Amino acid sequence: MFKPSEKTTVLGLSTADAHHPDLGKLEMIKGDRNLRSLFEPQGIAVVGASPKPSFAKCILNNIRSCGFNGSIAAVNPKYSAVDGVKCYRSISDVPFQVDLAVLCVPAENILAVLQECKLRSVGAVQIISSGFAELDTEEGRARQQQIERWAKRSPTTTVVGPNTLGVINLHRPMVAIGDSRIPKIVPGGVSCVFQSGQMFTIMHPLIGRGVGIGKIALTGNEVTVTTAEVISFFATDPQTEVIVSYSEGLKDPENFAAACTRARERGKPIIMLRVGAHLEVRKGISRHTATQAANSYETEIQFLKELGVITVDSAEDLIETVLAFKAFCRPRGNRVAFASFSGGMGNIMADLILSTRSLNLVSFSDRLCKRLAAILPSFANSFNPLDLSAQSAFNTGVLSRCMQTLGDSGEFDILLWGKDLPMSIDDESEVGMALKALEAEHPQIVVVAVSQMSGVYWDKEVDGVPPMFAGRPLLQGTGVSVRALDKVIEWHTST
């Protein structure tokens, strides 16, 4: 992992220099100031809104229905109102200060609307429209270059996109995104920056498992605002605890390195799904967000690791790694014990843990094994992974004495408690009380609940409550959970 004293050159940048706190300071401070118009607007205008089904209609209705308490306007010369929102001919006619303009007009009309935004001192513009460099045509590239030149001449207006889906701040609350499938708003400490609009749906499984979302920025082609700038903003955002990213290539590695430094200094992990490992995928990236940096995948992955960014290979791993950060605090060390009522799950988990880089499945001492054997039924085992046997589930004395003996041993730092199904552990149940007593008497031990299966357990009644233990989410699935734990422990031990 990256250490500030190490000095290597990646992407033409010395990582020791890249982590100097003054690098890119002016750009980052300017970006922070302007991104507040994006995430915390008081007035929003949706340009191109109409009663017809469209992204613009979805965005307008989501802003209205999410509880946004600022001013909202639709802009379209064809209508006087759209879905109950007053509609104006142009941005110039909107009677209130527009902090955020969401542009849903044809690509060939974007420059004219941007100029109106400049004249009205609009703070941030999110371009939803496609039809730019991602077309891989001369015309598309020329349009994008025009926006880039305009943005450089108009530094007071921040341009996000084009070719994106919107922006979210559940703390505001503000949901300005072109999708009708918006879950119940649950604000929290996870903030995201995604080049792909579809990735915003990560909020559904996270909220469904008890983890709230803070802010989501969808950056698309990243004409001006890049992933680096958004991460820099999140690094100092008091409402953000964990930063999540989907990237198709880093456009400004110097600023990205500085942003990562800011996040690490504040104890905020960055979890990134960086795609483009194969040539066939890189071709798709150029037609998706026109990110030319996709060709530097191998170099960038090494760069990210040196910066302490946690890289994952799938959306499932992205989600579970976020859950792992929320499921437990920083452990004392990496010594792991596993306990459950299932010998089979123990064997599965042991194989997986022993294959990791950062988790140490400890061997219990002879003394501890003998003490456990004296408590457990003869058909259980007394080594790690610990199989208490299904019979022990009905004997509260056995369970509580085992937890007390394990805690007194001082031989591990993390106890993984294995469950069969993704169901909550009732704090007042025998298992819940035993595990809570272990944590209370031995606060240096971190207890993490893991279910063997993932998904939704359809009991007689489904109440919509996420599977939890002691107010913390359960990890779900054996392989994905162990990979997530491995990455989280590695991050903790390197910071």
Convert the pLDDT of each residue in 378-393 to its tens digit: 889 999 999 999 888 7
Question: 22: which residues sit within 8 A by CB, 6+ positions away?
Answer: none
State the pLDDT at residue 355.
97
State the pLDDT at residue 458.
67
pLDDT tens readout for residues 347-378: 999 999 999 999 999 999 999 999 999 999 98
Lowest mean pLDDT among 8-12, 85-89, 324-328: 8-12
Q: pLDDT band for position 219 (50/70/90)? A: very high
Average pLDDT over residues 400-405: 96
d(Cα 304, Cα 292) in Å, to the nearest integer? 18
Q: Which amino acid is at 359?
A: L
User: Over 50: is that where the pLDDT of 407 sits?
Assistant: yes
User: Over 80: is that where the pLDDT of 203 sits?
Assistant: yes
Q: Which residue has the tokens 């007390």?
A: 404
- Rounded to two decimals, what is the model's pTM? 0.90
Query: Omega before 51 cis (within 30°)?
Result: no
Burial classification of residue 93, based on how many CB atoms lie within 10 Å of its CB (0-12 exposed, 13-18 middle, 19 or more buried): middle
Lowest mean pLDDT among 28-32, 202-206, 243-247, 330-334: 28-32
Give the residue, 150 or 290, on which the prediction is more confident. 150
State the pLDDT at residue 459.
62
State the pLDDT at residue 6.
37
Average pLDDT over residues 180-206: 92
The closest alpha carbon to 203, from 213, 194, 188, 191, belongs to 213
User: Over 50: is that where the pLDDT of 10 sits?
Assistant: no
